[in-house]
Amino acid sequence: MTVRINVGRGRLYQHQMIRRVTCCVLVALLTCATWAAEVRTIEANRSVEWSFTSAKAHADPFNTVELNAVFTTPDGKDLRVPAFWAGGQTWKFRYASHVVGKHAFRTVCSEASSDLHGVDGAVDVTPYTGGNPLYKHGPIRVSSSKRYFEHADGMPFFWLGDTWWMGLCHRLHWPEEFKTLTADRKKKGFNVIQIVAGLYPDMHPFDPRGANEAGFPWEKDYARIRPEYFDAVDRRLMHLVDEGFAPCIVGAWGYYIPWMGVEKAKQHWRYLIARYGALPVVWCAAGEANLNWYLAKQYPVDDRKQVTQWTEVMRYIRATDPFRRPLTIHPTGLGRLSARHATDDESLLDFDLLQTPHGQRDAVEPTVRTVRESSADQPVMPVINGEAAYEMLNDSLPTEWTRRMFWLCMMNGAAGHTYGANGIWQVNRKGQPHGPSPHHAPGSNGYGAIAWDDAMNLPGSTQVAQGAELFQRFAWHEFEPHPEWAKWDETAEDDIDLAWGNWIWFAEADPAKDAPAERRLFRKTIDLRDGKAVKTAVIYLTADDGFTATVTDTYELLDQPFAIASDVVIPTGRYSYIDGELGYNMGSQRPFTGQLSLRYGSFYGGDRTSLGFSRGRIQILPQLSFEPSASINCLYSRCAISKRPW
């Protein structure tokens, strides 16, 4: 500091000036010493926040001022931590580390003459004493084997994610509803929440459905970010972390980048890194990065230009994030169903996030194939199916297929799994569903109307969580898939033909390959084995449409009564009853497919008849189909329900 004093106006004036200047110099030095000496204490892996307010007014602080804090860790590493604009003339940065000791920093401002530049301070990191696994064991990283995740201390981390794409919007009320859903998922054992940072799917930009209580994340022309939006986000994400969840933050949906441009997308991501990088988070650069806008002329297409743009943003994320949080990107269902297909540079990926079809049996083959391909591919990385068969999608997708996707993925090499429930991902409310996406019919319910708090209690979340709990009883991270261990037994007994039984139509050639397309009439006698009781028999007819006939002989011992209707109670006792079911499956070659079934027979002490239609699918366009289901179920003989001895 240089002080110039005018000494040409007499001794008294000079003496007074020297005294005043000396006081100013002492105050300035004491102020600098106070800044330099300020040390804040924080436990390991928890974040600490510093705030700086500039005395200088900036007309456009978000776009014209860039502030960083350069930390030197106890082990001698330098980390450049970005600060975020907090509104007005205030900037903040957040810092966390698992390394115990003193971490000194100095601020670096893009305006070297600014009072924000050259400020010193330090953080004293002490051992963590609580029970939160994300603090106790440290944030998530990829293991040295590249096959699974682990905490910073090496403890394996089983990824069990839930999908809250729009969970930061006002439709999931803070705090009561957000905390209710958090508590439910914590109780069941989930530990990752996939959530989008405001730039949502399935809506136009600045759609009121996507706002939170402070409005939108950006001004409408993307001129600058809105800190008040993210103040509200802070409360939600920090609550998730405090409850033991690692937020997987999706920066934006892929189709935003043509509107924002690459540079604004980078600004968006710098802001996210500055605000949330000190938390134990996971980054997902974009959702459905290779899918274009819903109303584009060529929708849907595998948009390679978007992929190139998001790849540039991923490079920026990797260069900007001082904490090196795991990074991936979310693909759409076009081309290869893998994050490897949603970037031009696979080396930027820490793990492969998949999206496989939202289907039933038709989704099995692409799901298994995609998981196996990714597990076998190079470079090796953990595989997570981040979107698979949402339970009750279109208010119809059965729980069993959501559950089966978990097992299909885990048994073929995945490092965990993300569950999804329709109604939660888009935050439907009772009587107020999210409604149509831009490409849906106006006024429709879009993907379904089930409310988030009903979807929270769907059985699939419990069943998937139980599967994860079972894996974690063992050294699951050492498991390797061995599909070759299960195969057809070609040496089976003659009366059990595992090549789909005996073909019963006249075959001009090999019936397994050349089944006749025209109508055929046939008759077949089936001989039951002498002395053998047959409880269930199934007949399969044709390779495309299918007909089944099932006969079931049931024995059941009831140790307590139960009600099957308001006025019908089955008493305790032993029961034996027989029923049969006829089913007709319309093959996938038809535009209208599904399974018709008729079931009739005895039921405990009475009779039962049911007619149903399930697994329906009506294809309107290659990308648009409906999946209806209906049933007329269980007409009972009211006078015959009674105990019947065995």
Q: What is the pLDDT of residue 345?
A: 97
Q: What homologous superfamily does CATH list for 38-126?
A: Immunoglobulins (2.60.40.10)
Query: Which pLDDT band, with edges at 50, 70 and 90, does 620 fall under?
Result: low
Q: What is the pLDDT of residue 388?
A: 97
Closest CA relative to residue 49, chosen from 94, 91, 86 = 94
Residues 152-167, mean pLDDT to the nearest whole number: 98
Q: What is the pLDDT of residue 18?
A: 38
43-90 pLDDT, tens digit each: 999 999 999 999 999 999 999 999 999 999 999 999 999 999 999 999
Cα–Cα distance list, 118 to 106, 108, 274, 353 (Å): 6, 6, 19, 41
Check: CB of residue 235 under 8 Å from CB of residue 196.
no
The owner of tokens 């397309």 is 517
Given CA atoms 281, 283, 284, 285 in this order, what sign does their dihedral have? positive
Q: What is the pLDDT of residue 498?
A: 41
Task: Using the predicted structure, report yes or no on whether residue 395 has a pLDDT greater than 70.
Answer: yes
Cα–Cα distance list, 110 to 69, 319, 412, 457 (Å): 12, 18, 50, 51
Residues 277-285, mean pLDDT to the nearest whole number: 98
- The more confidently predicted of residues 598 and 279 is 279
Torsion of CA 511, 517, 518, 522, to 10 degrees: 30
CA distance 274 to 283: 13
- The residue type found at 274 is A
Mean pLDDT, all residues of the chain: 85
- The more confidently predicted of residues 578 and 96 is 96
- The more confidently predicted of residues 511 and 360 is 360
Q: What is the pLDDT of residue 621?
A: 57
CA distance 289 to 267: 18
Check: CB of residue 96 under 8 Å from CB of residue 45.
yes
Check: CB of residue 524 under 8 Å from CB of residue 536.
no
Residues 296-321, mean pLDDT to the nearest whole number: 96
Q: How many other β-carbons are positioned within 10 Å of the β-carbon of residue 269?
A: 23
DSSP for residue 394? G
Q: What is the pLDDT of residue 20?
A: 45
Give yes or no on whether 38-126 and 133-485 have one common fold.
Answer: no
Measured N-to-C along each axis, helices 364-376 and 399-410 cross at an angle, to the nearest 10 degrees, of 20
Task: Using the predicted structure, report yes or no on whether residue 166 has a pLDDT greater than 90.
Answer: yes
Query: Which pLDDT band, with edges at 50, 70 and 90, does 549 fall under?
Result: confident
CA distance 472 to 461: 17
The β-bridge relationship of strands 352-355 and 383-387 is parallel
The tally of CA atoms less than 13 A away on the side-chain side of residue 605 is 19
578 membership: H or E segment, kind and range: strand 573-586
Least confident of 473-487, 506-520, 555-569: 506-520
Task: Using the predicted structure, report yes or no on whether residue 19 has a pLDDT greater than 90.
Answer: no
Residues 280-287, mean pLDDT to the nearest whole number: 98
What angle (nearest 5°) sits at the alpha carbon of residue 275, between those of residues 41 and 42? 10
pTM to 2 decimals? Answer: 0.74
Those residues whose C-beta lies under 8 Å from the C-beta of residue 43, and which sit 6 or more positions away, are 125, 126, 127, 128, 129, 130, 135
Closest CA relative to residue 134, chosen from 338, 344, 325, 327 = 325
CA distance 143 to 156: 8
Residues 383-400, mean pLDDT to the nearest whole number: 96
Strand, helix or coil at 250?
A: strand
Give, in words, the CATH class of 133-485: alpha beta
In the chain, the percentage of residues whose pLDDT exceeds 70 is: 79
Q: What is the pLDDT of residue 27?
A: 38
365 membership: H or E segment, kind and range: helix 364-376
CA distance 279 to 233: 13
Task: Using the predicted structure, report yes or no on whether residue 100 has a pLDDT greater than 50.
Answer: yes
Q: What is the pLDDT of residue 608?
A: 79
Residues 307-336, mean pLDDT to the nearest whole number: 97
Domain boundaries defined on the chain: 1-35, 38-126, 133-485, 494-646
Closest CA relative to residue 406, chosen from 134, 161, 636, 230 = 161
Residues 463-486, mean pLDDT to the nearest whole number: 94
Residues 136-141, mean pLDDT to the nearest whole number: 98
The three-state (H, E, C) secondary structure of 80-127, written as one string = EEECEEEECCEEEEEECCCCCEEEEEEEEECCCCCCCCCCEEEEEEEC
Q: What is the pLDDT of residue 553?
A: 78
206-221 pLDDT, tens digit each: 999 999 999 999 998 9
Determine the length of the chain: 646
Q: With 0-12 CB in 10 A as exposed, 13-18 as middle and 19+ as buried, what is 388?
A: buried
404-439 pLDDT, tens digit each: 999 999 999 999 999 999 999 999 999 999 999 999
331-368 pLDDT, tens digit each: 999 999 999 999 999 999 999 999 999 999 999 999 99
The owner of tokens 């079911």 is 581
